[in-house]
Structure 1
Amino acid sequence: MKKIAFYGKGGIGKSTTASNVSAALSLIGKRVCQIGCDPKNDSTRLLLGHICKETVLDQIRTKDASEIKKEDIIHTGFNGITCVEAGGPEPGVGCAGRGIIVALQLLDRLHALPESDLILYDVLGDVVCGGFAMPIREGYAEEIYVVSSGELMSLYAANNIAKGIRRFASRGKVRLAGIIGNSRKVPGEKELLLEFAEMLHTKLVAFVPRDKIVNLAENNRQTVLQYAPDSAQADVYRKLAETILTNENLTIPTPVSFDDLEKLVSRYGTEN
């Protein structure tokens, strides 16, 4: 079983990418489980066709842990994909990172996850606290993909995630599996990301073009694989899914300084 995670700056398109990859994998017969680790609990929206209304933390808030059953927190999405949302605290109350820890520990205790060919953790933003680092630190995910554009702060988040992977690689199997470029149409973006990936001692495994078909699909609460299966964008996600299945180029990253990031961005004429 492959255990992977998508990380990246908030709003960079992790959940969209994750859901389309999950859909593509399911359509070639793979058993897929996607676990959203974001308090907005919107990772699986495109797979379920709606925002998940029963997150792990919702159950913990309303029931004694001994009363929670697998079916309370496990949901079935598009083409049989297993969907789980960790959930989060009420706005302004509690720690979202801590919520991830509690949610994943409960899933373990209940042995709640069915047999899968691939488990995909969709994790909020940067590695800024122990909770969001948990999939890396505790070995839930072994292959980490970082979703990034060519914008400076997106690269900054990606570089910080690489620091977290490097820190925990020495005591476990976690490795950087590659950069997924999610285009924002900044100048020289693909070339910039290719160079950035090389600086981190990894590869640019995909460059996802910006296409309005993605927004149209999301407005219809569907992945591109459902909404426009014959589109060029759907083929991009299919190719990325195949790459993830066969990728063996797993590395311990070599993060760079912020000064180096700024120099890289300035050479390509991009602006944050």
Structure 2
Amino acid sequence: MKKIAFYGKGGIGKSTTASNVSAALSLMGKRVAQIGCDPKNDSTRLLLGHICKETVLDKVRRSEVEEIRKEDIVHTGFNGVTCVEAGGPEPGVGCAGRGIIVALQLLDRMKALPPVDLTLYDVLGDVVCGGFAMPIREGYAEEIYIVSSGELMSLYAANNIAKGIRRFAARGKVRLGGIIGNSRNTPGEKELLTEFAKELNTELIAFIPRDKIVNVAENHRQTVLQYAPDSPQAGVYKELAKTIWDGTNLSIPTPVTFEELERLAAFYGT
């Protein structure tokens, strides 16, 4: 079974990309589980057609653990994709990263997930917090894909994630699978991301163009694969899914300095 995770700066489009990749993999005949590790519990919205109504932490707060059933926390989305949302604490109370730890441990203890070919963890932000690093640290995910645009702060977050991967790679199987470029139409964006990937000792495995069909599909609470399966954008996600499924070019990243990030951004962004 492949165990992968998507990381990246908040708001960069991780969940949209993850959901479309999960949908594309399911259409390839793969059994897929997507686990949202974000307190907003919106990772699986496009697959389910609605915000997940029952997260793992929702059930933990309201019930005794022994009373929780698999069907309470494991849901079925588009084309049979298994969907789980870890959830988070009430706003202003508790640690969201800790919620991921509790949720993943409970899923393990209950053996809640059905047999799958690939599990995709969609993780908030970068790996500064130990809870958000758990999918890497505890071996839940072995192949990490970083979603980034050509914006400096997105590159900064991606570089921090690479630092975390490098740290945990020293004592485990985790490796970087590549950079997924999610375009913001900034100057020289694809060239910048290509060079940034090289500096990190990896590759730009996809460059997703900015297309309004993504927003239209989201407004209908669907992935592009469901809403516009014959669109060029759907083809981009299908190709990315195939690249991830076939991917063997895994590496230990070589993070760069912030000064080098600034140099790259200035060189390609003019």
Partners of 1:225 and 1:190 in 2: CA distance: 24
Give the match for residue 190 of structure 1.
190
Instruction: Note the 1:133-172 alignment, pairs <5 A.
Output: 133-172=133-172
After superposition, the C-alpha distances for 1:238-267 in whole angstroms (9 at most, x for unaligned) are 000000010100000000010100011000
Q: Does 1:246 align with 2:242?
A: no
After superposition, the C-alpha distances for 1:36-57 in whole angstroms (9 at most, x for unaligned) are 0000000000000000010000
User: What letter matches 2:14 in structure 1?
Assistant: K
| Aligned residue pair count | 270
Give the match for residue 267 of structure 2.
267
TM-score between the two structures when normalised by the length of structure 2: 0.99
Partners of 1:46 and 1:63 in 2: CA distance: 27
Structure 1 alignment gaps of length 5 or more: none
Give the match for residue 178 of structure 1.
178
Instruction: Note the 1:85-100 alignment, pairs <5 A.
Output: 85-100=85-100
Q: Secondary structure at the match of 1:131?
A: coil
Q: Secondary structure at the match of 1:130?
A: coil
User: What letter matches 1:84 in structure 2?
Assistant: V
Give the drift of 1:268: 1.3
- Answer yes or no: is the 8 Å Cα contact 2:127–2:133 preserved in 1: yes
TM-score between the two structures when normalised by the length of structure 1: 0.99
Instruction: Note the 1:75-114 alignment, pairs <5 A.
Output: 75-114=75-114
Instruction: Note the 1:110-121 alignment, pairs <5 A.
Output: 110-121=110-121
User: What letter matches 2:42 in structure 1?
Assistant: D
Give the drift of 1:28: 1.3
Give the match for residue 64 of structure 1.
64
Instruction: Note the 1:179-258 alignment, pairs <5 A.
Output: 179-258=179-258
Partners of 1:69 and 1:221 in 2: CA distance: 27
Structure 2 alignment gaps of length 5 or more: none
- Answer yes or no: is the 8 Å Cα contact 2:189–2:269 preserved in 1: no
User: What letter matches 1:40 in structure 2?
Assistant: K
Partners of 1:174 and 1:138 in 2: CA distance: 10
Give the drift of 1:111: 0.6
Q: Which runs of 4+ in 1 moved over 2 A?
A: none
Q: Does 1:38 align with 2:38?
A: yes
Give the drift of 1:170: 1.0
Q: Does 1:17 align with 2:24?
A: no
Q: Secondary structure at the match of 2:40?
A: coil
Partners of 1:30 and 1:269 in 2: CA distance: 39
Give the drift of 1:69: 1.1
Partners of 2:259 and 2:60 in 1: CA distance: 44
Give the drift of 1:269: 2.3
